[in-house]
Structure 1
């Protein structure tokens, strides 16, 4: 297929930078969310069995349901295998599901835009790789500093930014699911995502240098 020649404008490079960053972040979020062994390790390290007063099989069953539910695109009611949920709790997980569905769409769009440029356009300008590296690196450096300062505050700020209601403020008596998914587990997920994003940024930096020297 004949490749298309296009002027490498700053606007195009900005668009490519944006979607490269979104592509990396989306992929790594998906990787961490589906890496269930991280949670299985936390069951022991965070003493979740004792704190939730549930056996390990029941904990895994309800956790696995949550992870599978939030990634489905099929519309269905949130019903945990063995735990009760309040109306607000159900609505919250529907909101979480909506966010993850949007991440899937964003991932597909990002793959299409970046891969189309890399495949179809000749006389490519790879400056967007350098910009992507800088954004990923410094953005996650700020996140690390905010987590070190006060993760709980950062965690609450995240919810306030991404949710238009306060349904995420769950009562353990009505929504015992929060007893098996403590805040520290989400801290571990965040650290894992940040680590993968920084590694991805380093790979992008190496690719950019390779292209410049080739």
Structure 2
């Protein structure tokens, strides 16, 4: 039972780490998307100004000491602010889990539980790939909606461009790319764990 708990907590740690790294990699990604999708034309502002507003948003979302969202050139409705506050809570939870569950991962590796759960690791690696397949089959837009309906209890995530114009410069492709980044990180971490377990098995 103890080993299963450690394994489960290690899985949760990998998910939290993958989410956390994806969040920070989304920052340079947005810089690329500005030119890829001509976001300056959509926002009617130059790239530096748009970048400054996005950094203000991300600083609010990732900085636990920033309690108020204020983007210089993008107004936000009460509903929009509520949604961003909920997103911030999820981000803080992911960051906290990375730190809190690190001892479980260390035990998982140190006690050679990789050998015991070697086959289980292969199964766990399939999950995000299956999610990606579902997203491809039903369309990322429908997958995106379903994802938000699971995570959020109300419809505050449905932004009205008239009151929350920031949504105009956060295209669907941006979220699709962040999802792909998450999958890649998740798979790489579990592949490393799986390979490490394979080496333990061979040397046993």
Superposition TM-score, scaled by structure 2 size? 0.90
Q: Which of the residues 138, 143, 163 maps onto 1:154?
A: 143
Q: For residues 29-75 of structure 1, what are the alpha-carbon distances to aligned partners after superposition, in whole Å with 9 as ceiling and x for unaligned?
A: 22221122211111111111112222111211111112121112236
Q: For residues 73-124 of structure 1, what are the alpha-carbon distances to aligned partners after superposition, in whole Å with 9 as ceiling and x for unaligned?
A: 23612211221100111111000001111111211221022224555x6xx4
Superposition TM-score, scaled by structure 1 size? 0.86
Deviates more, 1:204-213 or 1:66-75: 66-75
Is the 8 Å Cα contact of residues 17 and 129 (structure 1) preserved in structure 2?
A: no
Task: Give the alignment's Cα RMSD to 1 decimal.
Answer: 1.7
**Aligned ranges for residues 1-214 of structure 1 at < 5 Å?**
11-35=1-25, 36-74=27-65, 76-116=67-107, 118-119=109-110, 124-126=112-114, 127-135=116-124, 137-149=125-137, 150-214=139-203
Distance 1:133 1:16 in 2: 17
| Higher-helix-fraction structure | 2
User: Which sections of structure 1, spanning at least 5 residues, go unmatched?
Assistant: 1-10
User: Which sections of structure 2, spanning at least 5 residues, go unmatched?
Assistant: none
Report the alpha carbon displacement of residue 12 of structure 1 after superposing the two structures with TM. 2.3
Is the 8 Å Cα contact of residues 17 and 132 (structure 1) preserved in structure 2?
A: no
Report the alpha carbon displacement of residue 134 of structure 1 after superposing the two structures with TM. 2.1
Match of 1:8 in 2: none
Q: How many residues align?
A: 200
Distance 2:83 2:190 in 1: 32
Q: For residues 151-189 of structure 1, what are the alpha-carbon distances to aligned partners after superposition, in whole Å with 9 as ceiling and x for unaligned?
A: 111111111111111110010110011111111100001
Which one has a bigger Cα radius of gyration?
A: 1
